Structure 1
Amino acid sequence: MPHNMLTRRKLLKGLGAAALCSPFLVNQAWAARQQSLYVDGLSFLPDDIHDVKASKLSAFIADISDIEAIKQADGTTNYKRSYNACIQSIKKAKAIVDANPDVYLQGQTGLDIERAYDSERTAVYFQIQGADCVEADSSQTNWQQLNEFKDNGLRVLQLTHHYGNRFAGGALDNDGKTGLNLPLTPAGHELIEALNHRHMLIDVSHSSPQTALDTAKASKSPIVQSHGAVRSIVNHARCSPDEVIRAIADTGGVFGIFMMSFWLTNNPTPTIKDYIKQIDHVVRIAGVDSVAIANDYPLRGQENLLKLNNDNAEGVKEYLEWWHSLRAKNVLGFDIEPKHVVIPELNHIDRMSRIDDELKQARFKSSDRDRIMGGNWQRVLKQVLV
């Protein structure tokens, strides 16, 4: 283990419960409300503003990006977050948040979670799923586009989405025979330095394992995988090996478990216990300070499955064309046909309470549940977003 990672992890373990997590544990105003601190690592601004209160979230990271669908030479589609699409989408998102000050507090620093909680609002932190939005014509000496995004509220930047770009390797990159485990590029190293300097959170979701490992080594601040799953449970390119999970934890960061059930279990019928199994695995290999909750669906849930009353057999059909196109490229894990999309109990606006209750049933102690349900996200956001 690199020395700087060992030092950071020892610091986290030494300070975790007593100092880094203490603000949400001892704040008397919060305790008086008797409402748990719930933080979702990735969702979206809902169309119905009432969903925010109904979700019981104290804070969430919101993907506010927009995409351009780009057909690749092999016939598959990559969804890139271009500068033009994302600068418009972030301004639109900011206008929505500003128009609802009784519901939202736009997260600028980690302390805004406490401010939102105390005022019975929800802190929302803007994220973009892919650094394609920082385009090649942006000067890497002054990072004009990155500065513009930050000025409009961007606080979390994911390096890539599925496929590699000039900064990073993607989880689904493939040469037709074997998976490509592409590293962080020289431009990626410059981007990591720029993000650290601007106190922005680095997200390695959708990155190749080598890119994630390189990023953990290069970053001077904690990094996260905002939404993902465990490869030792589901052997799939979109799921992360244990060494990546440990490397993220060694930076002081967190690994968010998301709700896409075909990457959570190969069991034919997914249940909430499969979700808890993912959490338990991360705790066992990297510690309770390293795991958190994510979604990757709207706050209310995967909308098409909700319309189908969570009929997975019918709902999974919308994913099969994409799944088969990647099977044809021999991408790891796509040889197994998906049987489901959601865990029905969690495809619901009240998922956070349900996860919390299930953790209690699984005999996670109260202080550990507090970390998993929101404290770990709060700690990282407070440490990075200053």
Structure 2
Amino acid sequence: MTQKVCNQARRHILKGLGAATLLSPLSSLPAWAVESRRLYIDGLSFLPTDINDVKASKLDAFIADISGIDKIEQADGTINYKRTYQACINSIKQAANSVIANPDVYLQGQTGADINKARAQQQTAVFFQIQGADCVEDDGANNEWPLLDSLHQQGLRVLQLTHHYGNRYAGGALDNNGLKSLNPPLTTAGQSLIEELNRKNILIDVSHSSAQTALDTAKASRSPIVQSHGAARAIVNNARCSPDEVIRAIGDSGGVFGVFMMSFWLTNKPTPTIEDYIRQLGYIAKVGGVNSVAIANDFPLRGQENLLALDNNNSEGIKEYLPWWHRLEEQNVLGFDVEPKHVVIPEFNSIDRMSRIDDALKKARFKSTDRDRFMGENWQRVLKQVLV
């Protein structure tokens, strides 16, 4: 059959399927129809309680934070959420069991090639991530990594170096001890960790790292690095957002920068809009290149649950964040002197966010090839390159 005839046949079948069928779950479509639509990959979310959320999200793959957490109160009264080894080995086993129990929905991602495999089988590939190398802080003696080995064997494929505050390996974005200029680097132990992560083909994530740690990591790593979820400091001047040199270094490494859904780090405007999110994507493209832009979430697949319960009332929803925000303001952490007014962009605090972002990019006149990259192809390229 010629390509022209094949395309005509496909159009005829799609017409016969009808609109109702096309709006139904993807499992009702022929495999080639699923494979021909735009790839959707989310750079950070969580395994949902309701398994139906996975299909409803239309995701072909996502990176899932499966961290187990111990709450640690710091000397200044702020809370750090430490990803201890024991908490994480328990949580990663539970996550693996959940994936195994739902083979019609999930494929646990071991290599980047699993994205296409899952897509062909009308599953969603899920790649396990831990938000902080606290879980392996006891590793590295005599260049041995038993804790990292065990987590990798259980399916760990993406490791974030730190979460807000520093650890043995890396400096955190909020580490400043009241001094705006303090910018902790990657440590000597961190250099060894980077070497081991490269050797094991584990993707390195510099989200929540200090800018200097991110720059040091880009220089030290032989493989692309990513910021799975973040935003541009040039738009919101906050310690949790990344300066241009970090965005550029990630792009130069061959990695990607996922723009997330936490609206108080996307814009300082009193009311966040779809255009604010698209502006962030465009800015990352300008600084890091179109091959560096990606989508992230940092909320559950269906959205920030408390805001959903409040019908996305940002003026009420922001109240849960303010005590933490004000403590950081007292510590003179960069950007926390600007009180936030919102948590989410209401239109994107939805299970259907990927389709809505795609539509917004089209409305903003981004090229179809760039939309392909932003919505999933950039993530797929990096995952294929690193997870082998």
TM-score, reference length from structure 1:
0.91
Structure-2 residue corresponding to 1:237: 239
Q: Does 1:135 align with 2:137?
A: yes
**Deviation per CA, 1:233-262, whole angstroms, max 9, x where unpaired?**
000000000000000000100000000000
Alpha-carbon offset, residue 136 of structure 1:
2.0
Matched-pair identity in %: 72
* Aligned equivalents of 2:310, 2:114: Cα separation in 1: 37
Alpha-carbon offset, residue 74 of structure 1:
1.3
Instruction: Answer yes or no: is the 8 Å Cα contact 1:105–1:124 preserved in 2.
Output: yes
Secondary structure class of the residue paired with 1:157: strand
Alpha-carbon offset, residue 32 of structure 1:
6.3
* Aligned equivalents of 1:337, 1:116: Cα separation in 2: 43
* Aligned equivalents of 1:159, 1:183: Cα separation in 2: 12
Specify which of 209, 212, 225 is matched with residue 223 of structure 1: 225
Which one-letter code corresponds to 2:208 in the other structure? H
Structure-2 residue corresponding to 1:5: none
Secondary structure class of the residue paired with 1:183: coil
- Alpha-carbon RMSD across the aligned residues, in angstroms, is 1.2
Structure-2 residue corresponding to 1:119: 121
* Aligned equivalents of 1:97, 1:232: Cα separation in 2: 39
Any unmatched runs of 5+ in structure 1?
1-27
* Aligned equivalents of 2:347, 2:32: Cα separation in 1: 28
Structure-1 residue corresponding to 2:174: 172
* Aligned equivalents of 2:278, 2:142: Cα separation in 1: 42
Alpha-carbon offset, residue 139 of structure 1:
3.5
Alpha-carbon offset, residue 77 of structure 1:
1.0
Structure-2 residue corresponding to 1:53: 55
Specify which of 92, 98, 101 is matched with residue 90 of structure 1: 92
* Aligned equivalents of 1:30, 1:287: Cα separation in 2: 31
Between the two structures, name the one with larger relative contact order (CA 8 Å, sep ≥ 6): 1
Instruction: Answer yes or no: is the 8 Å Cα contact 1:39–1:377 preserved in 2.
Output: yes
* Aligned equivalents of 1:297, 1:111: Cα separation in 2: 26
Specify which of 308, 320, 325 is matched with residue 323 of structure 1: 325
Specify which of 331, 349, 352 is matched with residue 350 of structure 1: 352
Specify which of 78, 82, 105 is matched with residue 103 of structure 1: 105
Instruction: Answer yes or no: is the 8 Å Cα contact 2:139–2:148 preserved in 1.
Output: no
Question: Which is higher, the Rg of structure 1 or of structure 2?
Answer: 2
Which one-letter code corresponds to 1:335 in the other structure? D
Specify which of 71, 76, 80 is matched with residue 82 of structure 2: 80
Q: Give runs of aligned pairs for residues 127-276 of structure 1, distance below 5 A.
A: 127-136=129-138, 139=141, 141-276=143-278
Instruction: Answer yes or no: is the 8 Å Cα contact 1:179–1:331 preserved in 2.
Output: no
Alpha-carbon offset, residue 141 of structure 1:
1.6
**Deviation per CA, 1:146-173, whole angstroms, max 9, x where unpaired?**
0100000000000000000000000000
Instruction: Answer yes or no: is the 8 Å Cα contact 2:31–2:122 preserved in 1.
Output: no
Give the ranges of 4+ consecutive aligned residues of structure 1 lying more than 4 Å apart after TM superposition.
28-33
Instruction: Answer yes or no: is the 8 Å Cα contact 1:315–1:341 preserved in 2.
Output: yes
Instruction: Answer yes or no: is the 8 Å Cα contact 1:172–1:179 preserved in 2.
Output: no
CA gap of 1:196–1:138, structure 2 versus 1, over 3 A, is: closer
Alpha-carbon offset, residue 174 of structure 1:
1.5
Structure-2 residue corresponding to 1:304: 306
Any unmatched runs of 5+ in structure 2?
1-29
Instruction: Answer yes or no: is the 8 Å Cα contact 2:201–2:386 preserved in 1.
Output: yes
Structure-2 residue corresponding to 1:336: 338
Structure-2 residue corresponding to 1:23: none
Comparing 298-307 and 174-183, the one that deviates more:
174-183
Q: Give runs of aligned pairs for residues 27-66 of structure 1, distance below 5 A.
A: 30=32, 33-66=35-68
Instruction: Answer yes or no: is the 8 Å Cα contact 1:199–1:384 preserved in 2.
Output: yes
**Deviation per CA, 1:32-61, whole angstroms, max 9, x where unpaired?**
654221000000000000000000000000
TM-score, reference length from structure 2:
0.91
* Aligned equivalents of 2:137, 2:220: Cα separation in 1: 21
Which one-letter code corresponds to 1:47 in the other structure? T
* Aligned equivalents of 1:295, 1:101: Cα separation in 2: 24
Structure-2 residue corresponding to 1:375: 377
Residue correspondences, number: 359
Secondary structure class of the residue paired with 2:321: helix
CA gap of 1:140–1:372, structure 2 versus 1, over 3 A, is: farther
Which one-letter code corresponds to 1:376 in the other structure? N
Alpha-carbon offset, residue 285 of structure 1:
1.4
* Aligned equivalents of 1:178, 1:60: Cα separation in 2: 34
Secondary structure class of the residue paired with 1:249: helix
Alpha-carbon offset, residue 140 of structure 1:
5.1
**Deviation per CA, 1:312-367, whole angstroms, max 9, x where unpaired?**
00000000000000000000000000000000000000000000000001111111
Instruction: Answer yes or no: is the 8 Å Cα contact 1:206–1:238 preserved in 2.
Output: yes
CA gap of 1:311–1:182, structure 2 versus 1, over 3 A, is: same
**Deviation per CA, 1:122-159, whole angstroms, max 9, x where unpaired?**
00000000000003256452200001000000000000
Instruction: Answer yes or no: is the 8 Å Cα contact 2:34–2:119 preserved in 1.
Output: no
